[in-house]
Amino acid sequence: MRGAPLTRAGIAILTLVIVVFVLLPIFTVFLWAFSERWPGAKLFPEAFGLKWFRLLIESGALVQPLTYSLIIAAIVVVASALISIPAAYVVGVKRFRGREIVESLALMPLIVPPIATGVGILGYYTQIGFKSNIWAVASVHLIGAIPFMFRSLAAAFESVDPALEDAARILGAGRLRVLRHVYLPLITPGLLAGSVFAFAWSLNEFLLTLLVGLPDIVTLPVQIFRYVGGYYIQVAPVSALSVILLIPSIIFLVLSEKYIRAEFVPGAGVKG
Amino acid sequence: MVSVRLENVTKVFGKTRAVDNVSFTVEDKEFFTLLGPSGCGKTTTLRIIAGLVEPDDGNVYYGDRLMNNVPPEKRNVTMVFQNFALFPHMTVYDNIAFGLRMRGWSKSDIDKRVREVAELLRIRGLENKYPHQLSGGQQQRVGLARALAPQPEIILFDEPLSNLDAILREQIRFELRDLVKRVGITSIYVTHDQAEALVVSDRMAIMRSGRIIQMGTPKEVYERPNSVFVAKFLGIATILEGRVEEKSDEGYRFTLAGTGHTLRVAHSFVEPGGKGFVVIRPEYVTLLRIDEEPDENILEGRVEKATFLGSTIDMNISIDGIVLRTFVKATEMEVREGMEVRVRLSPEKLVVVPPED
Ligand SMILES: Nc1ncnc2c1ncn2[C@@H]1O[C@H](COP(=O)(O)OP(=O)(O)OP(=O)(O)O)[C@@H](O)[C@H]1O
Ligand SMILES: [Mg+2]
């Protein structure tokens, strides 16, 4: 029972960290975003309303960036899934030798500083004139999205009994139909988990988006930095934008509680 | 319907020769069993027949047709798996219908056929359930129904009963054999359970380390094992070391090592002058009354251990340092531990096999 106080202390610290760095900031952001009138001396706003959202919409600072963000995120989800499925199948099902190497290679993009790759990519994107459009931005988002998607899918494929593929083949299904009728339905939880992470990654990505997207492609995070990056910080409109940015995360959080099993979330207790 | 022929088939995984130069023919509508210990290459052989594994060497024929380059989905073969391998996201109906859909059957034909095999396997009423809602025995029936539905020419069984409890296993194995015999499908059955193999097979092959070491009907292989391995693997046997002395019209003379007793044995896989092991099944041993006339192959000893098994008594008889195992009917005689007995070993049943290398 010597571990009990330690466990309690650990949980307390974890809770504190979550409160200070996640819940409290989000609470503050919501306060700012929905404040109608908030004199400086007061602890809470005097009135709540949608003033800042209206302002953002009228100034054109919301709709266009949001549209770009969502379209790009959708492209990133689909593309990362299409790219990851074959690789995840090979790693998860075929268990070939060297799969550990492939798995860690797939995580490389998350470790390498994006500024390094970003500048390099910018170099040759500029040379071939592939810049300042949603495809260019989506393509750099894939660098971060694929590792998440791949991990989730590989774990999902690994959880499928390999005998099912044999059974389906024997019963007359070619490889494609095995994928469609057996694997796809069974990896859906992993696909959802991967999509959530890929989507969230794309939605939040800032640095590479800035490098490759400007001047024409301004996504939500880039727009936010326009407000906070200057000589003064406009907290209220930034908060309103941040709330918008939070909505998909909240939706996914709720969805994932219902549909996603923890074992397909990258790094969440996946065996091995 | 069709025969299956393997010709010098070999499959190597890394350093393991999983299947090592295996050849055999399974006749049309025959029930053929591959029997062997874990890891001897049974599953790999089966998967090669199905087309799920490509052999490194050798040929597989269905009838006269070379199948090496035919993918599994184009072969008219189905399989029943050890862990059932039912599709967990499909109902029983969809599981059974899967093979039919893949083969492009019409909806009404599928309906009819699913009903037919569900009836055959007595699983009507389960159609809308999911596999996880079924008992092991029910899952096994669904697996079998799914394999029978597309009317395959060949059906493969990979230890289909090993996940069931002992009672169910014994019931289903008769039923299973009856079923495929009734439908008339060439069947290849893999198991490591010798009792199961003896019961279901028309013919069987004993595998060890990727090779087939003996083939024949269950009776042939049981009564005339060609090696210590087969003798031990199949049924119960006392195996005693000795030397084959000479050959006569009535068989061979065999001297038991250590004791100097000689036995007449009808069959030997060892030439006279060679060392070998005599295989003595419990049923080849008869207990004699003390006053009975001496005959040949008589040994005297003492009951070392007697275990009451209900209808029979399992005995170890110690004879000059060797131990012989046999059974007697419980009603036939009174057996006590320590009792002096004389036994006769039926010479026409005894076999001498070569030593292991
Ligand atoms: N895909 C594979 N990769 C590497 N080695 C394999 C593979 N499949 C089988 N083996 C090896 O080949 C040998 C034979 O395996 P196989 O599965 O055919 O045995 P088995 O007789 O079916 O055994 P069991 O009764 O345990 O099912 C084993 O040593 C096994 O480890
Ligand atoms: Mg096996």
Q: What are the percentages of helix, strand and coil residues in chain A, rounded to 5? A: 75, 0, 20
Tell me which residue has its CA closest to atom 28 in ligand 1: B39
Mean pLDDT value across residues A85-112: 79
| A52 pLDDT tier (thresholds 50, 70, 90) | confident
Q: Are A2 and A209 in contact (CB under 8 A)?
A: no
Predicted confidence (pLDDT) at residue B20 exceeds the cutoff of 90: yes
Tell me which residue has its CA closest to atom 31 in ligand 1: B39
Closest chain A residue to B98, measured at CA: A171
Q: Are B246 and B237 in contact (CB under 8 A)?
A: no
Is A60-262 in CATH node 1.10.3720.10?
yes
Chain B residues closer than 8 Å to A190 by CB: none
Chain B residues closer than 8 Å to A181 by CB: 87, 98
pLDDT attached to residue A269: 37
**CA dist list (Å): B308 to A42, B166, B322, B330:** 93, 21, 22, 8
Ranked by mean pLDDT, which of A120-129, B46-55, B299-308 comes out on top? B46-55
Tell me which residue has its CA closest to atom 14 in ligand 1: B41
Candidate from A161, A171, A185 with C-beta closest to B78? A171
DSSP line for B124-144: TT-TTS-GGGS-HHHHHHHHH
Instruction: Give the domain ranges of chain A.
Output: 1-49, 60-262
**Residue pLDDT, tens place only, B147-160:** 999 999 999 999 98
Range in A252-256, B252-256, B298-302, B305-309 with the lowest mean pLDDT? A252-256
Is B79 in contact with A174 (Cβ distance < 8 A)?
no
pLDDT attached to residue B185: 93
Please give the torsion angle defined by the CA atoms of residues B240, B246, B250 and B256, in that order, rounded to the nearest 10 degrees: -20
Burial (0-12, 13-18, 19+ Cβ within 10 Å), B6: buried
Give the single-character DSSP code of A262.
Answer: G
Residue B349's nearest CA partner among B229, B257, B192, B237 is: B237
Tell me which residue has its CA closest to atom 26 in ligand 1: B38
Is A163 in contact with B85 (Cβ distance < 8 A)?
yes
Closest chain B residue to A163, measured at CA: B85
Q: Which two tokens stand for residue B220?
A: 């042939």
Cβ of B141 under 8 Å from any chain A Cβ? no
Q: Are B220 and B51 in contact (CB under 8 A)?
A: no
Amino acid at residue number A253: L
Mutation probe of ligand 1 site: the residue of B13, B17, B20 with most atoms within 8 A of C-beta: B13
Closest chain A residue to B80, measured at CA: A167
Predicted confidence (pLDDT) at residue B339 exceeds the cutoff of 80: yes
CA–centroid distance, B45 to ligand 1, in Å, is: 10
**Residue pLDDT, tens place only, A198-257:** 998 899 898 889 888 888 888 888 888 887 766 666 788 888 888 888 887 787 777 766
Predicted confidence (pLDDT) at residue B140 exceeds the cutoff of 50: yes
Complex-level ipTM: 0.83
Q: Which two tokens stand for residue A220?
A: 């939500």
pLDDT attached to residue B213: 94
Mean pLDDT of chain B: 90
The residues pairing with B35 across neighbouring beta strands, listed in sequence order, are B191, B206
Is A164 in contact with B87 (Cβ distance < 8 A)?
yes
Chosen for mutation from A95, A159, A171 (greatest number of chain B CBs closer than 10 Å) is A171
Rounded Cα gap, residues A67 and A219, in angstroms: 8
| B186 pLDDT tier (thresholds 50, 70, 90) | very high
pLDDT attached to residue B290: 65
Question: Cα Rg for chain A, rounded, in angstroms?
Answer: 22
Rounded Cα gap, residues B39 and A174, in angstroms: 29
Candidate from A173, A185, A186 with C-beta closest to B73? A173
Q: Are A201 and A76 in contact (CB under 8 A)?
A: yes
In short, whether B35's Cβ falls inside 6 Å of ligand 1 is no
pLDDT attached to residue A2: 59
pLDDT attached to residue A111: 80
Residue B216's nearest CA partner among B206, B208, B228 is: B206
Q: Which two tokens stand for residue A187?
A: 């990896």
Predicted confidence (pLDDT) at residue B15 exceeds the cutoff of 80: yes
| A261 pLDDT tier (thresholds 50, 70, 90) | low
Q: Are A148 and A139 in contact (CB under 8 A)?
A: no
Chosen for mutation from B47, B53, B81 (greatest number of chain A CBs closer than 10 Å) is B81
Mean pLDDT value across residues B155-170: 87
pLDDT attached to residue B212: 95
Mean pLDDT value across residues A50-68: 86
Predicted confidence (pLDDT) at residue A71 exceeds the cutoff of 70: yes
Rounded Cα gap, residues B185 and B320, in angstroms: 53
List, as own/partner pairs, every contact residues A43-46 make where C-beta atoms lie below 8 angstroms and the sequence separation is at least 24, other chains included: none
Nearest ligand, measured from the Cα of B47: 1
Ligand 1 atom index nearest CA of B40: 21
Candidate from B85, B102, B146 with C-beta closest to A173? B102
Q: Which two tokens stand for residue B14?
A: 């890394």
pLDDT over 90 percentage in chain A: 23
In short, whether B40's Cβ falls inside 6 Å of ligand 1 is yes
In short, whether B16's Cβ falls inside 6 Å of ligand 1 is yes
Distance in Å, alpha carbon of A178 to nearest chain B alpha carbon:
10
pLDDT attached to residue A267: 47
**Residue pLDDT, tens place only, A113-171:** 878 888 888 888 888 888 888 999 999 999 889 988 998 898 899 999 999 999 999 99
Candidate from A166, A173, A186 with C-beta closest to B85? A166
Mutation probe of ligand 1 site: the residue of B43, B192, B212 with most atoms within 8 A of C-beta: B43
Cβ of A176 under 8 Å from any chain B Cβ? no
Is A171 in contact with B85 (Cβ distance < 8 A)?
no
Give the single-character DSSP code of B349.
Answer: G
pLDDT attached to residue A270: 35
Chain A residues closer than 8 Å to B50 by CB: 166, 170
Please give the torsion angle defined by the CA atoms of residues B114, B118, B124 and B129, in that order, rounded to the nearest 10 degrees: -70
Amino acid at residue number B210: G
Cβ of A181 under 8 Å from any chain B Cβ? yes
Rounded Cα gap, residues B287 and A133, in angstroms: 96
Predicted confidence (pLDDT) at residue A50 exceeds the cutoff of 50: yes
pLDDT attached to residue A122: 87
Give the 3-state DSSP-derived string for chain B, with helices as H, strands as E and coil as C: CCCEEEEEEEEEECCEEEEEEEEEEECCCCEEEEECCCCCCHHHHHHHHHCCCCCCEEEEEECCEECCCCCHHHCCEEEECCCCCCCCCCCHHHHHHHHHHHCCCCHHHHHHHHHHHHHHCCCCCCCCCCHHHCCHHHHHHHHHHHHHCCCCCEEEEECCCCCCCHHHHHHHHHHHHHHHHHHCCEEEEEECCHHHHHHHCCEEEEEECCEEEEEECHHHHHHCCCCHHHHHHCCCCEEEEEEEEEEECCEEEEEECCCCCEEEECEECCCCCCEEEEEECHHHEEEECCCCCCCCCEEEEEEEEEEECCCEEEEEEEECCEEEEEEEECCCCCCCCCCEEEEEECHHHCEEECCCC
Is A172 in contact with B87 (Cβ distance < 8 A)?
no
Q: Which two tokens stand for residue A94?
A: 């075929």
User: Measured between alpha carbons, how far apart are the two ends of chain A, in Å?
Assistant: 29
Cβ of B50 under 8 Å from any chain A Cβ? yes
Chain A residues closer than 8 Å to B83 by CB: 161, 163
Amino acid at residue number B233: F
Question: What is the set of domains in chain B, with CATH numbers?
Answer: 4-228 (3.40.50.300), 229-353 (2.40.50.100)
Q: Alpha helices of chain B — where are they, by DSSP H?
A: 42-50, 92-102, 107-120, 136-148, 166-183, 194-200, 218-223, 228-233
Cβ of B52 under 8 Å from any chain A Cβ? yes
Closest chain B residue to A175, measured at CA: B73
When comparing pLDDT for A265 and B225, which is higher? B225
Predicted confidence (pLDDT) at residue A1 exceeds the cutoff of 80: no
Q: Are A28 and A45 in contact (CB under 8 A)?
A: no
